[in-house]
Structure 1
């Protein structure tokens, strides 16, 4: 099963966040937690909100009852007042990612800050917190209403539309994409053949972008996962298609775990220099365990994809 994955959401509830945006951020957290819990049995979540105080809204120890945890997300009330982002992130390091609060030393840890990126009357220095020894090996990125010139975060979904993915699972994967593509710049690449279904340039009209995701038709054909990931590196995360060199980049592969008749080698693609500093995840769709059990280890045209990043 591998080590636990611990994800701490740091939610800006200060006075600079409008009520509608605050509810939208809660919806984002709710949908991410719900969808990941359906596929990731060893994922644990925490939520820390901040305004003029810092408050743990959900701890890592509350994962046993998913329904109750999700209800707690819905019921979070905005704190308002100051914007003490650095103090909130430090709170995660000091009071969330600690053994007595359910954290494991060997777990993979991530901090996701949902903020408008303003800081006001924070007693702590953000740079000092981010450079703290306790931040070592903690992956972090910010999502939210970016200020002008902020590089932001770019997320490319790589969607397995090959013949090995059942139509129902394909629709579920599209639904997952739609649920989370509200706070960043997104691209969607489908493969059977490879098609960029949504580019980073098409994010200005979110309603239209969401409609494009809903209307994606499954390609079928071969399972060329490595080629699809390489397509993101060569044709999505490039300046001419709306990518910024200084942005944080994430690739999320939604796949049943199989690779079939791919002309490219997955290990080679993942070790490409262009993959440097790109955070990547794989999430399973369909009966992934059955595919793994039934795969023919002697068939060199077929291989499993299981990215541990």
Structure 2
């Protein structure tokens, strides 16, 4: 693995923050297996121009590189010519004459906190760029374009560069082959729907992070007719199918459509109603659902649902829709998440501290996509988590539904609810009107004495 670090050294950064960047480089390089037969490192600084601080041709040992990093002078400069820096990398950095190896993956980490002051041309796909953007001034959309098909690491301040970034970099570069495309994990048709919370509980930046997560998934997974199709539903007071499976299932087209989704902020969170709408309506063939495809709903939850989710979760299970709830923050109800998955699939639940962690979950490794692509549970399991055999029949806790397990481990739900409002009222001999009697599973009419 050949790794290039290119760090911004413009006037916008300042010497104090530049020294933090140097400490970050020291920590990351300390954690890497640097050596002649292992990882090779080069370090550059850029602003108006590019300065090569340590090349691949120099001794590839941690001690030598760290000693040089500590002595790098802060360059300064009025411009942040990111385009020029990336052009330099494309044309020079990984070439044989500059010590690059042709038979290893090429990875670039670019630390930047300013929008580019020149035009950017993304390096060839053989060079994987992972920008580390520091807000509030970094242009996240610009960094996202540079990094495709990977994703940038976004931090909130230079101080978090030392606290959080070294581990993120080491995980992404050295714990798996991020620089190669995620293999065809989903080698079967799978219809995936994302449910985004558009309620008034969600801020504008949080909604953008949810969209970034969907885009990251689309860019990392294999979108094709033999694999994954993606749709998006926004839920709150009303349910809005923003993207259906009927639209062209092409990566660039889907990313563009996700980008244009606007938050509707329609009142409270009604998750039960949203899932019911998804199962009964949005996942139908009329909306592009493929009869042969597994159905998956990835549900982002940040608050407690104002309606119940039990019946909707049950309906999803009975209709073979696998629910993957992602709880973000600390306001959601864990019990509701467990209800969504059912006792047999609680490992589908993901819990994150911040909305920013959504994209990182895709950026760092392929575990989440693997989890989604694994065959959904194909066993008959009752509400207490007990396995059932074909021919077994059991009654649900509401006493109004029975479930039967059939060969092939699929279940059929039978309702015993009676809506007497739809039945004709009896004509009573006493000439008195029939009286409605409420019962556990509905109602019935009875003539008064």
TM-score for the superposition, normalised by structure 1: 0.50
Higher relative contact order, structure no. (Cα contacts within 8 Å, ≥ 6 residues apart): 1
Task: Work out which of the two has the higher radius of gyration on C-alpha atoms and give 1 or 2.
Answer: 2
Give the helix-richer structure, 1 or 2. 1
TM-score for the superposition, normalised by structure 2: 0.35
